[in-house]
Amino acid sequence: MIEVKDLQKSFGEAHILKGITTSFNKGKTNLIIGQSGSGKTVFLKCLLGLFNYEGGSISYDGKVFSQLSEDDKRNLRAEIGMVFQGSALFDSMTIAENVMFPLRMFTKQSKSEMLDRVDFVLNRVNLPDAHNKMPSEASGGMQKRVAIARAIVNNPKYLFCDEPNSGLDPKTAIVIDNLIQEITDEYQITTVINSHDMNSVMEIGEKIVFLKDGLKAWEGSNKTIFKTDNEVVTDFVYSSNLFKRVRKMYLEENE
Amino acid sequence: MTYLSNIGAYFLMIVEMFRKPTKWRVMRELIFKDIDDLIINSLGIVSFIAFFVGGVVTIQTALNIDSPLIPKSLVGFATRQSIILEFAPTFISIIMAGKVGSFITSSIGTMRVTEQIDALEVMGINSLNYLVFPKTIALLLYPFLISIAMFLGILGGMAACVYGGFSTLEDYIVGIQTDFTPFHVTYAFIKTFVFAFLLATIPSYHGYYMKGGALEVGKASTTSFVWTSVFIILLNYLLTQMLLS
């Protein structure tokens, strides 16, 4: 479980995060949503320890990140898997080498053990024959799946995904969403996804934190987001006509 | 103020580069890869330039000797001195700032733009140690490249001298042996080690701390070439003043 208390972050005069308090549960897919510029990416980078923050605290299963020694921070990071928006695969390595990378860095496994594990996770993300391809030879969806494989290869306790569906067609996006949810359930990982894709919200938003102007504007789940009267949320969610119609149908069905 | 903050950040980067070392079995591979990328892949261009510039130095020296009182062996002597003292260590380093420097800046800069450096950091890897340290170690072999440049420069001078009919082979060989001071080679290698460090770290700094997208990667490569050249020239002057005068 990840707990965030009164998190504040500024860049010079610009106050980006203005005191966010929330928590992300183990074994759940937790979504951070909001419009562009709402502070989602900064929030995620603070959670990952890539940005220092001025106020508040973040704790991982009771361990307050800012109070950890450098060694403990490094150990904690080894328990984190991250799927970047652009996949961030190492373009000088093959797909198998990319997936093997965390194992080479953090374990003392033999090469055959590492290869077995790589085979296993590449099968898990439905890429059994992609070992020797270079990232540039893989499609966007494949790259995302490789990034997920790399993120889970070392059995992380926490999985972070920054807009995992950006640039993907709707069908592939659903495949990626489902894969993330299955992995979260299967390995009981605390998964935090940064997204503004409403399909993801509906499909896998077991917990949703809605950010606006650096503040938490709403918190709930994919089951409650249709029912909320919070204007800020409805403005965002129903900015698409499709979702307006979906909501209407949902409310009619439940009347 | 920006210059001062950049200089400060550069030195902090160097300190950080030695912290939290990467596993040796991974680092060893990175070092060999960088030796291949930075040294072995530069052999061709360095050899080509050294050979022909050596020839040009010889021809120009020979053409400027009009007086019959000056011995023909001076051509070999002047070529040797020019190549060992200045051409091989400094001129080749400026070329390497363009070739190797822009390669380092653009490869690290692209990693920054595509979040690969963030990926390393999230995993708890010291990205500076992972990316910059192996390049610095690989460039410790840079004097090997400069030795080849020295040899081929003098050889190119000999070919131009003999086949151009400027003096005989015997005169040229007498010339390159005349008043040989071993310390000049030491001085050249001291410079080479300093330049190697600059060649590894300044382009890395510009790549690592760049902001923006693909266009900025190109700009960072240009800036890194300019600053690496400036510092090579400046330190060349300072080291010459300290070691030779």
pLDDT digits (tens, 9 = 90+) for B141-182: 999 999 999 999 999 999 999 999 888 999 999 999 999 999
Q: Does B20 touch chain A (CB under 8 A)?
A: yes
Question: What is the overall mean pLDDT for chain B?
Answer: 93
CA A110 – CA A97 distance, rounded (Å)? 14
Question: Which strands, in side-by-side order, build the sheet including A63-64?
Answer: A14-24, A2-11, A55-60, A63-64
Average per-residue pLDDT in chain A? 87
- Band (pLDDT 50/70/90 cuts) for residue B79 is very high
Contacts of B108 in chain A (CB under 8 A): none
What pLDDT score was predicted for residue B46? 95
Report yes or no: A148 and A87 within 8 Å, Cβ to Cβ: no
Q: Are B145 and B37 in contact (CB under 8 A)?
A: no
Contacts of A102 in chain B (CB under 8 A): 123
Contact B206, B224 (CB under 8 A): yes
A102 vs B: CB within 8 A: yes
CB B97 within 8 A of CB B193: no
Q: Where do runs of H (alpha helix) occur along chain A?
A: 40-47, 70-77, 95-106, 111-124, 140-152, 170-187, 198-204, 231-237, 241-254
Interacting residues of A61 by C-beta distance below 8 A, sequence separation 6+: A1, A2, A157
Given pLDDT bands bounded at 50, 70 and 90, which one contains residue B235?
very high
What is the ipTM score, two decimals? Answer: 0.81
A135 touches chain B (CB under 8 A): no
CB of B29 within 8 Å of any CB in chain A? no
Q: Which amino acid is at B8?
A: G
Cβ–Cβ under 8 Å, residues B39 and B141: yes
CB contact A80 to B (< 8 Å)? yes
In this structure, the strands spanning A190-194 and A29-33 are parallel
CA distances A71 to B32, B124, B129, B150, B201, Å, are 28, 9, 16, 47, 26
Residue of chain A whose alpha carbon sits nearest to that of B21: A105
DSSP code at position A164:
T
Stretch A204-213: mean pLDDT? 88
- Report how far residue B154's alpha carbon sits from residue B81's, in angstroms, rounded to the nearest whole number: 10
Q: What integer pLDDT is reported at residue B21 of this predicted model?
A: 87
Name the pLDDT band for B183 (thresholds 50, 70, 90): very high
CA nearest B82: which of B169, B156, B141, B170?
A: B156
Answer whether residue B1 shows pLDDT above 80. no
pLDDT score, position A202: 79
Q: Answer whether residue B108 shows pLDDT above 90.
A: yes
In terms of average pLDDT, the best of A25-29, A229-233, B197-201 is B197-201
CA distance B110 to chain A (A): 10
Q: Between these two residues, A200 and A209, which has the higher pLDDT value?
A: A209
The pLDDT value recorded for residue A73 is 83
Q: Which of A42, A46, A74, A100 to mutate to test the interface with B (most CBs of B within 10 A)?
A: A74
CB contact B26 to A (< 8 Å):
yes
| B215 pLDDT above the threshold of 80 | yes
Q: Are B143 and B192 in contact (CB under 8 A)?
A: yes
Q: Is the pLDDT of residue B203 over 90?
A: yes
Q: How far apart are CA A100 and CA A149, in angstroms?
A: 9
Contact call for residues B92 and B146 (beta carbons, < 8 A): yes
**Closest C-alpha among B197, B222, B196, B236 to residue B42:** B196
Which residue among B20, B118, B124 sits closest to A84, beta carbon to beta carbon?
B118
Closest residue by Cα to residue B62 from B130, B162, B194: B162
Contact B121 A70 (CB under 8 A): no
A–B CB contacts, 8 A cutoff, strictly below: 52
pLDDT in tens, A64-118: 888 888 788 878 888 889 998 888 999 989 999 999 999 998 888 899 999 999 9
With a cut of 80, say whether residue A241 has pLDDT above it: no
Asked if residue A48 has pLDDT above 90, the reply is no
Q: How far is CA B231 from the centre of its chain?
A: 12
pLDDT value at A247 more than 80: no
Extract the tokens encoding A202.
């509906």
Query: What is the amino acid identity at position B106?
Result: S
pLDDT of B136 above 90: yes
Average pLDDT over residues A113-139: 90
The pLDDT of residue B201 is above 90: yes
Which residues in A lie closer than 8 A to residue B20 (C-beta atoms)?
70, 74
pLDDT for residue A250 is more than 80: no
Quick one: average pLDDT of A198-224?
A: 86
Q: Say whether pLDDT at B35 is over 90.
A: yes
Return the C-alpha torsion angle A151, A152, A158, A162, nearest 10: 40
